[in-house]
């Protein structure tokens, strides 16, 4: 699979840091960020690169040459006049006859591309975009997808958005098929091509665009502040640690009574209210080496009291409220089943004893499989006995939010206290 890296931008927002070199040549520790990108994916078997260059492009060419000293093959496309961030793809069509990776030359990432490509091939779409939650969804573009991860809407940050939304943001890492390029009819100084607006967004209406959700590290370093953050993350090992080839650790979270106020069976979205300190606690998880994963029993689905779209909307409210405070959930699992019958409007096919309903460990085990989680290094935090049992059954360490004390189970007063204890070391 070829890899196209777009490295022709001027980098005006970060010019104060590097006024005399192209943005992809800014150093991350001892290497230009572009070298960091090339070596990262070379080590996963990708050796055929096309780099698009423009502003000060000769500096990139002089440094990398034909790629042989880095163990890869590199060819270049020169933009003599600005073509937009995807205009070069029009001229590269004849070389891009199979699916290819399309990357930004100013982003730092460490991704298990094998997983990403397998997802793309399994769905067979024209394009797949890498998506993740971030700490500021309120001023980011949003990707809205259906249950099969087909993108249905692509909202720019200036577009009107729903009151509540899933925290899902395009990270700037893509897999495209040649079919995705068919919409490019021309590319010249009078007709610039924008990747999002002219290629990807039109696919939303066709069912041909998919999103691949992952907690792996992807961050651009396009401003001095972001560059500083990326440098710190690289030095602290956060970038490579998040690659899903490596074992992850998670803090599994119950929902009702742990993140939001307990009101019994939550049926009305207006009753969803974050508990004090919950967003701060989750933000601390986000800044640590742990994943924040919600696992929640939702028998209201089987009982016919809440529909799946209504539950999705409740979870969108949770994402939105957390995002407003700079926090996010890496993944959410819910059990819709309930073993008991006799409820008006119940859904018979969901009335059975399952492996996912806590105290069974199914949701935690599913997350462990999806994200390569080391359960022995992980925690389960909840406010009920079933949360404790689910954690023990899955092989994670439980912590109980409770006023009462229990033998052999650590109890705390709040999620924030639990997270502080976990992150402080052995407890």
Biggest CA–CA distance in the chain, Å, is: 74
The Cα 65–Cα 56 span in angstroms is 15
The Cα 50–Cα 150 span in angstroms is 28
The Cα 427–Cα 421 span in angstroms is 7
Active site (annotated) includes residue 256: yes
Distance set, CA 140 to CA 157, 166, 214, 425 (Å): 5, 12, 17, 34
Edge-to-edge strand ranges of the sheet holding 410-412: 331-335, 290-297, 249-253, 379-382, 397-401, 410-412
CB burial of 83-112 (b: ≥16 within 10 Å; e: otherwise) equals bbbbbbbbbbeeebeebbbbbbbbbbbbbb
The Cα 227–Cα 19 span in angstroms is 14
Structure tokens at 218: 């992807």
- Catalytic entry in 106, 110, 254, 319: 254
Quick one: 158 exposed, middle or buried, by C-beta within 10 A (0-12, 13-18, 19+)? exposed
Between the two ends of the chain, the Cα-to-Cα distance in Å is 47
- Catalytic entry in 220, 256, 330, 387: 256
Helices within 10-112 (DSSP H only): 33-42, 57-64, 88-91
Active site (annotated) includes residue 374: no
The Cα 103–Cα 37 span in angstroms is 9
Q: List active site positions.
A: 254, 256
């Amino acid at each position: 699979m070829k890899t196209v890296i777009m490295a022709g931008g001027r980098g005006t927002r970060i010019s104060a840091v590097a006024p005399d070199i192209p943005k992809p040549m800014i150093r991350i520790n001892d290497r230009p960020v572009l070298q960091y990108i090339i070596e990262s994916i070379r080590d996963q078997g990708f050796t055929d690169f096309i780099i698009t260059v423009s502003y000060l492009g000769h500096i990139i060419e002089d440094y990398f040459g034909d790629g042989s000293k880095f163990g890869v093959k590199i060819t270049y496309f020169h933009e003599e006049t600005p073509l937009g961030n995807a205009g070069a793809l029009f001229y590269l069509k004849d070389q891009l006859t199979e699916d290819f990776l399309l990357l930004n030359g100013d982003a730092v990432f460490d991704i298990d591309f094998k997983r990403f490509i397998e997802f793309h091939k399994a769905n067979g779409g024209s394009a797949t975009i890498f998506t993740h939650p971030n700490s500021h969804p309120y001023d980011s573009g949003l990707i809205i997808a259906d249950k099969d991860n087909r993108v249905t809407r692509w909202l720019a940050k200036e577009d009107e958005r729903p009151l509540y939304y899933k925290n899902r943001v395009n990270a700037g890492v893509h897999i495209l098929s040649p079919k995705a390029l068919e919409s490019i009819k021309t590319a010249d100084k009078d007709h610039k091509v924008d990747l999002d607006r002219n290629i990807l967004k039109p696919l939303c209406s066709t069912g041909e665009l998919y999103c691949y959700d992952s907690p792996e590290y992807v961050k651009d370093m396009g401003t001095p502040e972001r560059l500083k953050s990326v440098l710190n993350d690289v030095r602290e090992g956060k970038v490579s640690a998040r690659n899903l080839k490596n074992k992850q650790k998670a803090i599994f979270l119950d929902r009702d009574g742990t993140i939001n106020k307990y009101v019994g069976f939550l049926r009305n979205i207006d009753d969803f209210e974050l508990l004090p300190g919950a967003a701060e606690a989750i933000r601390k998880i986000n800044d640590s080496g742990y994943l924040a994963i919600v696992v929640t029993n939702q028998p209201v689905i089987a009982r016919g009291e809440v529909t799946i779209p209504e539950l999705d909307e409740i979870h969108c409210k949770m994402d939105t409220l957390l995002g407003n405070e700079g926090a996010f959930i890496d993944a959410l699992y819910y059990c819709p089943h309930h073993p008991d019958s006799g409820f008006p409007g119940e859904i018979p096919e969901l009335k059975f004893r399952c492996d996912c309903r806590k105290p069974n460990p199914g949701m935690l085990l599913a997350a462990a499989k999806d994200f390569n989680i080391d359960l022995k290094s992980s925690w389960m935090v909840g406010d009920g006995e079933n949360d404790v049992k689910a954690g023990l059954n899955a092989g994670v360490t439980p912590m109980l939010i409770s006023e009462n004390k229990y033998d052999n189970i650590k109890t705390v007063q709040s999620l924030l206290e639990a997270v502080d204890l976990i992150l402080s070391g052995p407890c």
